[in-house]
């Protein structure tokens, strides 16, 4: 009877194990989508950021899949007879000094300027999770050695170390990604280590140790699920910072190949040619795209943090009460704004 109940579908018919697993996966996906809507659209600011992030991600995926068909012109085609043309219906963002369409080059640069920061943040988070959990859980000399290495990396400015590594490896997108990843992982180690130190004293971890649970079982079942939300919030906020660092490398002409469309490199070319005051749109329009991408990820990360962190939830409710946010009235009702302090009259 028990096996039949476990393999019986909604229509009362017995299902196979594959069907049961399929329904479980569908339920998990629905739950994940529901939580994503709850966090990403918790207020109008995070909703705006989520729309920006989704829009740029669609462009970043669609452009290479269509082999550049989304762009009106080739990102590499030169037309010296039409160089430095202002924005128009024919060329939405104008053309650069070699007659290349800036709008097409911006579209070609979006997959790079989003893909590289996502790769940097993802790889840094993996490194931080591994070494942070080992340092926090094992402790002792292992913890001391890992944290001293982190302090050594954090003692130097990130962009300076990235410039040195990128200049050593040479101009390549892979080298630019690795140069920033080389210096990007220490904050993740510190974040994960702090979370593990706080969780290690919990009763369920002590119980797992008393039951002789393996190290990997405690990491996978007891610690990782509880530190994952903090990592996701920090990573979503960190993508914008990584994008600014990638654009800085391109602006300085280090790490990014010379002819590769990249937003920072496009602005740097204008500055090198001293054309900012003559053809300002060549630098301003790519900079606005960088601003929108960074703003989108920042607002998206703030929305996730506000919706998932109970420590900032009362402040969020109070703010939405003051500005007329879109939260339910039952959440806003218990909040009262304190009256201003009365100063005694002289």
Q: Tell me the C-alpha distance between 63 and 70, whole Å.
A: 6
Cβ atoms 202, 209 nearer than 8 A: no
Q: Give residue-wise pLDDT tens across range 183-240.
A: 999 999 999 999 898 888 888 888 887 888 787 888 888 888 888 888 988 998 899 9
- pLDDT tens for 54-63 read 999 999 999 9
Question: Which of the listed ranges 3-7, 11-15, 190-194, 203-207 does the model predict with the highest average pLDDT?
Answer: 190-194
Condensed to tens digits (0 to 9), the pLDDT of residues 162-178 reads 888 888 888 888 888 99
Given a contact cutoff of 8 angstroms between Cβ atoms, the answer to whether 256 and 262 are in contact is yes
Is pLDDT of 39 > 80? no
Chain centroid offset of residue 231 CA: 10
Tens digits of residue pLDDT in 278-335:
899 999 999 999 999 999 998 888 877 776 655 555 555 555 555 544 444 444 444 4
Which domains does the chain show, CATH number per domain?
112-301 (1.10.3720.10)
Q: Which residue has the tokens 């800036």?
A: 102
Query: Which residues does 299 contact at the CB level (< 8 Å), separation at least 6?
Result: 45, 46, 48, 49, 50, 52
């Amino acid at each position: 009877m028990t096996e039949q109940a476990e393999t019986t579908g909604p229509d009362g018919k017995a299902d196979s194990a594959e069907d049961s697993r399929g329904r479980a996966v569908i339920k998990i996906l629905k739950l994940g989508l529901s939580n994503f809507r709850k966090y990403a659209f918790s207020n109008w600011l995070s909703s705006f950021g989520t729309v920006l992030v989704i829009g740029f991600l669609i462009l970043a995926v669609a452009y290479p899949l269509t082999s550049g068909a989304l762009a009106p012109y080739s990102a590499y085609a030169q037309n010296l007879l039409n160089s430095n043309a202002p924005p128009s219906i024919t060329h939405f963002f104008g053309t650069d000094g070699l007659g290349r369409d800036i709008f097409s080059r911006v579209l070609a640069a979006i997959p790079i300027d989003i893909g590289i920061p996502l790769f940097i943040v993802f790889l840094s988070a993996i490194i931080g999770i591994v070494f942070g959990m080992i340092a926090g859980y094992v402790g002792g000399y292992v913890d001391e050695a890992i944290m001293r290495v982190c302090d050594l990396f954090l003692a130097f400015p990130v962009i300076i170390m990235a410039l040195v590594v990128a200049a050593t490896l040479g101009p390549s997108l892979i080298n630019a990604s690795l140069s920033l990843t080389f210096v990007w992982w220490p904050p993740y180690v510190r974040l994960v280590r702090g979370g593990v130190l706080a969780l290690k004293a919990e009763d369920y971890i002590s119980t797992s140790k008393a039951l002789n649970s393996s190290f990997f079982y405690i990491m996978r079942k007891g610690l990782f699920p509880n530190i994952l939300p903090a990592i996701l919030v920090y990573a979503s906020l960190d993508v914008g910072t990584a994008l600014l660092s990638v654009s800085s490398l391109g602006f300085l002409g280090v790490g990014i190949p010379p002819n590769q469309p990249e937003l920072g490199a496009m602005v740097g070319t204008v500055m090198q040619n001293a054309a900012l005051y003559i053809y300002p749109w060549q630098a301003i329009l790519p900079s606005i795209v960088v601003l929108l991408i960074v703003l989108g990820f920042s607002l998206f990360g703030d929305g996730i943090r506000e919706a998932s962190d109970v420590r900032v939830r009362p402040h969020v409710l109070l703010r939405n009460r003051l500005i007329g946010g879109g939260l339910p009235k039952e959440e806003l009702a218990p909040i009262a704004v304190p009256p201003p302090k009365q100063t005694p009259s002289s």
